[in-house]
């Protein structure tokens, strides 16, 4: 793609990321203790923070203050989302790509990558394998290539929804793919997608140009930055943002993500449904600058600060991270994780225990089964959830914001988490997980405070476990 063509792609886009301003905020003196506590108090009142207030939390690196930030993030997560953790799986459909991002195993110049695009029958096989494990929520992932246009993505979504195995079904399909034009977003919305997710990768303009070569679609910073604005304008209810931590200073990326969330909420009345914060991982043929790699301790700060800065949004922690670290980080405000993940093309039916780097975008850190992850969640006091009720009842977009910002979403989330968890225990769990999960299920149901709701929930749980009914939600 020529430079002129690339330039016209971003015509009309708003560049709301001011590198100089963010850098000045990061260079400011450390805030005093009271200032940090005042900012945390706003968070705990479920108010979204400004970029300046977020910068205050970023600058608070005294160990005692960091622990206070962690504690506040834990409290806020419980007050908004309760103790549930939503589970999903990624399904990589194709890894053809016209971009040449230096850090990615799918980059077009990586001659060692095995290129493949799943045929409809292969998508059915992958989805069947996922359903047979108990999954109800998927995110479809595509390389950036002309063949993966809106029509192709929509066809894949229809194929997933049409695939049923026993009592298994996928009830929500989210998308991670290249930015589209308005017409393209309308086409994928018509297929019934949930969240359309686009990672800016890095919000710093110079860092972005360094890792995304010019004369490629992804080389156009503004076209990508504007991608989710076009999605909302085209009628997509929910969008997800993210940065790839390790391409630039993590502190800058946190401010970039918050800037993006505030811009979307201010312009469209809808902030991001999810925020992702993956770290760079080894990948075949990839190269990156080690000076920006994010430590485990700093990743914990990233998660806690994002939880406080954007109280209403879901935070996604992926299987890029090792199991033991995921267990630690989850406590700081995470609301969604993937589990039982394979990211090789065709990996759910063809891959063994070892990862196949020539077929992956990057190396995973946690390859445990869904059942193993659920058993650990239960042991740690979480309620595993496969809930899709908000999407299907219209609690999306502005309506989701109305419920989530004051924390009312807990009224729906906990009962729906319990009904979907009851389905998993009845249909897919191992005996060990079923026993442990059953105890947690009963305890959590008994703690529902609304007497009428508790009665309705008890009735639905009986209908699931004894009557064999499925998909009962509030």
Domain with residue 81: its CATH number is 3.20.20.70
Domain-located, residue 268 = yes
Domain-located, residue 471 = no
Mean pLDDT of the chain: 92
- In 3D space, the residue among 474, 455, 456, 465 whose CA is nearest the CA of residue 410 turns out to be 474
Residues 83 and 180 in one domain: yes
**Cα distance between residue 250 and residue 208, in whole Å:** 14
Residues 307 and 434 in one domain: no
Sorted by sequence, the CB contacts under 8 Å of residue 434 that are 6+ apart come out as 425
Residues 311 and 450 in one domain: no
Which comes out higher in pLDDT, residue 448 or 157? 157
Residues 241 and 168 in one domain: yes
- In 3D space, the residue among 365, 359, 295 whose CA is nearest the CA of residue 337 turns out to be 365
Q: Do residues 322 and 367 touch, judged by C-beta distance below 8 A?
A: no
Residues 145 and 163 in one domain: yes
- For the ranges 283-287, 313-317, 358-362, the lowest mean pLDDT is seen at 358-362
pLDDT at 7: 40
Which comes out higher in pLDDT, residue 11 or 328? 328
Residues 9 and 29 in one domain: no
Sorted by sequence, the CB contacts under 8 Å of residue 266 that are 6+ apart come out as none
393 is written with which tokens? 């009842």
412 is written with which tokens? 């729906």
Q: Element (H or E) spanning 352, and its range?
A: none
The residue among 342, 370, 393 that closes a domain is 393
**Cα distance between residue 306 and residue 278, in whole Å:** 13
Q: Model confidence at 398, in pLDDT bands (50, 70, 90)?
A: low
Q: Do residues 333 and 315 touch, judged by C-beta distance below 8 A?
A: yes
Residues 242 and 373 in one domain: yes
Sorted by sequence, the CB contacts under 8 Å of residue 390 that are 6+ apart come out as 396, 400, 403, 409, 412
**Cα distance between residue 337 and residue 346, in whole Å:** 21
* Structural domain boundaries enclosing 27: 19-61
Domain-located, residue 70 = no
pLDDT at 422: 98
Count CB-CB contacts under 10 A for residue 470.
Answer: 16
Domain-located, residue 69 = no
- Tens digits of per-residue pLDDT, 31-45? 999 999 999 999 999
- Tens digits of per-residue pLDDT, 49-96? 999 999 999 999 999 999 999 999 999 999 888 899 999 999 999 999
**Cα distance between residue 284 and residue 304, in whole Å:** 31
Residues 374 and 323 in one domain: yes
CA distances from 333 to 66, 345, 389 (A): 14, 31, 21
CA atoms within 13 A of residue 96's CA, in its CB half-sphere? 8
- Tens digits of per-residue pLDDT, 403-419? 565 555 667 788 999 99
Phi, psi torsion values for 116, nearest 5 degrees: -165, 145
Domain-located, residue 233 = yes
- In 3D space, the residue among 346, 344, 202, 365 whose CA is nearest the CA of residue 282 turns out to be 365
- The gap between the terminal CA atoms of the chain, to the nearest Å, is 49
CA atoms within 13 A of residue 198's CA, in its CB half-sphere? 25
**Cα distance between residue 110 and residue 9, in whole Å:** 26
pLDDT at 401: 58
Residues 142 and 193 in one domain: yes
Q: Model confidence at 368, in pLDDT bands (50, 70, 90)?
A: very high
DSSP 3-state of 361: coil
- Tens digits of per-residue pLDDT, 312-335? 999 999 999 999 999 999 999 999
Residues 277 and 369 in one domain: yes
Domain-located, residue 71 = no
The number of domains in the chain is: 3
Residues 108 and 254 in one domain: yes
- One DSSP character per residue, 310-335 reads STTSEEEE-TTS-HHHHHHHHTTT--
């Amino acid at each position: 793609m020529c430079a002129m063509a690339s330039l016209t792609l971003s015509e009309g886009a708003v560049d709301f990321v001011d590198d100089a301003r963010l850098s000045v905020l990061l260079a400011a003196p450390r805030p005093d203790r009271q200032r940090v506590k005042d900012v945390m108090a706003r968070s705990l009142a479920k108010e979204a923070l400004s970029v300046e207030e977020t910068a205050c939390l970023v600058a608070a690196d005294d160990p005692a203050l960091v622990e206070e930030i962690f504690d506040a993030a834990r409290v806020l997560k419980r007050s908004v989302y309760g103790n549930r953790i939503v589970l999903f799986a990624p399904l990589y459909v194709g890894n053809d790509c016209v971009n040449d991002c230096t850090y990615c195993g799918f980059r077009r110049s990586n001659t060692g990558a095995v290129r493949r695009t799943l045929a409809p029958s292969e998508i059915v096989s992958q989805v069947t394998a996922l359903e047979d494990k108990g999954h109800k929520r998927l995110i479809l992932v595509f390389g950036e290539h002309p063949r993966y246009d809106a029509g192709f993505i929509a066809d894949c979504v229809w194929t997933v929804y049409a695939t049923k195995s026993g009592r298994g079904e996928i009830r929500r399909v989210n998308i991670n793919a290249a930015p589209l034009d308005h017409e393209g977003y309308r086409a994928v919305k018509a297929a019934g997608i949930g969240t359309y997710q686009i990672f800016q990768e890095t919000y710093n303009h110079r860092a972005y140009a360094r890792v995304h070569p010019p004369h490629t679609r992804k080389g156009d910073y503004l076209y990508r930055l504007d991608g989710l604005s076009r999605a909302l304008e085209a009628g997509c209810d929910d969008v997800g943002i993210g940065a790839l931590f390790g391409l630039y200073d993590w502190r800058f990326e946190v401010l970039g993500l918050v800037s993006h969330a505030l811009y979307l909420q201010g312009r469209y009345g809808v902030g991001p449904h999810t925020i992702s914060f993956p770290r760079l991982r080894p990948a075949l043929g990839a190269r990156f600058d080690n000076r920006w790699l994010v430590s485990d301790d700093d990743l914990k700060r990233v998660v806690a600060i994002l939880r406080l800065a954007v109280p209403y949004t879901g935070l996604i922690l992926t299987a890029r991270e090792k199991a033991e670290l995921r267990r630690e980080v989850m406590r700081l405000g995470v609301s969604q994780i993937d589990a039982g993940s394979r990211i090789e093309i065709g990996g759910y039916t063809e891959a063994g225990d070892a990862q196949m780097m020539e077929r992956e975008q990057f190396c995973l850190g946690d390859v445990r089964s869904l059942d193993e992850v659920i058993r650990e969640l239960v042991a740690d006091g979480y309620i595993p959830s496969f809930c899709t009720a908000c999407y299907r009842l219209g609690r999306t977009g502005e309506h989701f914001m109305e419920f989530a910002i004051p924390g009312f979403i807990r009224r729906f989330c906990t009962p729906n988490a319990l009904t979907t968890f009851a389905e998993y225990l009845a249909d897919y769990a191992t005996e060990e997980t079923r026993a442990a999960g059953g105890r947690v299920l009963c305890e959590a149901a008994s703690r529902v405070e609304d007497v009428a709701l508790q009665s309705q929930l008890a009735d639905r749980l009986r209908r699931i476990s004894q009557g064999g009914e499925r998909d009962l939600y509030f």
